[in-house]
Amino acid sequence: MSENDGQRFDRLPATPADREVEGRASREEVVDWWEERFGVDPETFEDVTFWEKGSGKIWAFSADLPSPIRVEGLGMTVLRTRQEHWKPTTTGVKRFARDATKNVIELEPGEASAFAAGHDQQLDRWDGDWGYLIAAHELAGEREPIGVGLYLHGELRSRVPKGYQEDLAVLD
Amino acid sequence: MNPLDRYERLVDDAEAFRDACDRPLPSVVRVNEQRVTPERARRALDEEGVEYERVEWNDRLLRLPEGSPGTSWPYVHGWLHGQEEVSALPALALDPNPGDRVWDACAAPGSKTCHLADLMDDSGVLIGNDNNLGRLSALRHNAERLGVSNLVVTNKDARNFSLDQIGIDALDGAVADVPCSCEGTCRKNPDVLEKWTMNHVEGLVGVQKGILSRAISLTRPGGEVVYSTCTFAPEENEAVVDHALETTDAEMMEWDAPLETAPGVTEWEDQQFDESLTKAHRVYPHQNDTGGFFVAKLRVGGADAGDEEVEA
């Protein structure tokens, strides 16, 4: 088995059996993970290729190109692997998990604003899984994901990256 | 000197032109249709009490009289992107199809690139290149915020960009929105007029010609290239395109601009340009209450350059 080269994008192997780089996630595992964790339909990723650049950072690209490839960016980051609990990115859930059916916590207006500003908050009403959740709220008649939260011991910790945090109006 | 003096004889109403250049520019956002419909975006702004006016020539553009959208929910969700009205023109002119292979030669900070992705329905291969590594992080941030997943980001000099590193043989289209003297942004940055020198313009022209030539040579026969600047100087506009018409197999294409424009000029000082340069578009600030802009659309020629070429 070879090592991951953090300077280039390598396409993920199709299945664990095709794996040539130690510890690298496979496409099958990534698609299964989104389905198991958030109920995202595997068809969502039908035209998407997955790549690793950096240790465990997974990028989704809506086309295919020869692997490996040395460029500055390829699609968007969607997932962090190579750790005990895989962690979705804020941009990943907003792009690919808008229709998620599992582990989505719907926030009230004040909670939504606090979450977007990066604040952690006590939310005892959640009785689903612990771990990474999609925080969403209702806007203009439909549910919209805001980002990723980490739910532990009755607390929802905002994982909205600093560059995306905003102080927003509380909507009635 | 004030470079705007040079252009008074090109415009239909010099006084209106100068008055418009002195007024601040309205703040405009583009609705990102990958995330939301224009109707839902407007409804969300209504719910939040954010005032906006619709731009009559494009229902994806909204003017915000109160200024920045930076702290509204629609902005946070990547539904809106702050983008000047005229800077929507290059992507509209190229009008790429889903699945196309498109190059944005000078992509950072990414407004036009993300607009291209939107028109491509976030499919195909969109290459966003910029020679400035620092500005690429803004491009990446904007693309992720707007949910663009078909973008390859590269950091090369556009003048000798190669598709080999990406493994594709030719482009279907390219946008060369080149570095320029930015006179057309004077409503946002009055500084550009004070710092203007003819030397600077002359220095830019070589770079502009190099980037446009490269865009044409990377594009397949029948493919299209859009050349644009945010400046009025014919040296940076018609003269650069004229040079490409003379030295490559590209030809000017008709494009119906969706807002009021003036045709490209065919003579300037002691220079004559190809007659087809009248198909280019000049946008003066007083015409649509926007910034200034220049856009030309070219078709790359060659053996199988498409039906329109054969009929001509």
- Tens-place pLDDT, residues A30-53: 999 999 999 999 999 999 999 999
In this prediction the pTM is 0.95
Report pLDDT digits (tens) over B249-286. Answer: 999 999 999 999 999 999 999 999 999 999 999 999 99
Rounded distance, CA A39 to CA A100, Å?
A: 5
Q: Which of B77, B114, B131 to mutate to test the interface with A (most CBs of A within 10 A)?
A: B77
Rounded distance, CA B232 to CA B184, Å?
A: 6
Whether pLDDT at B148 is above 90: yes
- Chain A residues at the B interface, defined by Cβ less than 8 Å, are 47-48, 60-63, 65-66, 69-77, 91, 94-95, 116, 139-142, 144, 146, 163-164, 166-169, 171
Predicted confidence band at B309 (pLDDT cuts at 50, 70, 90)?
very low
Rounded distance, CA A114 to CA B272, Å?
A: 62
Rounded distance, CA B302 to CA B225, Å?
A: 14
B51 contacts chain A (CB < 8 A): no
Predicted confidence band at A151 (pLDDT cuts at 50, 70, 90)?
very high
Contacts of B131 in chain A (CB under 8 A): none
- Which of B182, B226, B180 lies closest to B205, judged by CA? B180
- The pLDDT value recorded for residue A170 is 80
- The pLDDT value recorded for residue B306 is 56
Q: Which of the residue ranges A73-77, A163-167, B184-188 would you say has the lowest mean pLDDT?
A: A163-167
On the CB side of A54, CA atoms within 13 Å amount to 12
The letter for the amino acid at A169 is A
Report pLDDT digits (tens) over B214-233. Answer: 999 999 999 999 999 999 99
State how far residue A65 is from chain B, nearest Cα, in angstroms: 7
- Residues B31, B36, B42, B43, Cα dihedral to 10°: -170
Is the distance from CB of B299 to CB of B290 less than 8 angstroms?
Answer: no
Contacts of B145 in chain A (CB under 8 A): 91, 164
Average pLDDT over residues B122-145: 96
Q: Taking the alpha carbons of B201, B202, B203, B204 in that order, is the dihedral positive or negative?
A: positive
Cβ distance of A60 and B72 shorter than 8 Å: no
The answer to whether the complex's ipTM is over 0.90 is yes
Average pLDDT over residues A99-127: 96
Considering only CB atoms, A73 lies closest to which of B122, B145, B151, namely B151
B110 contacts chain A (CB < 8 A): no
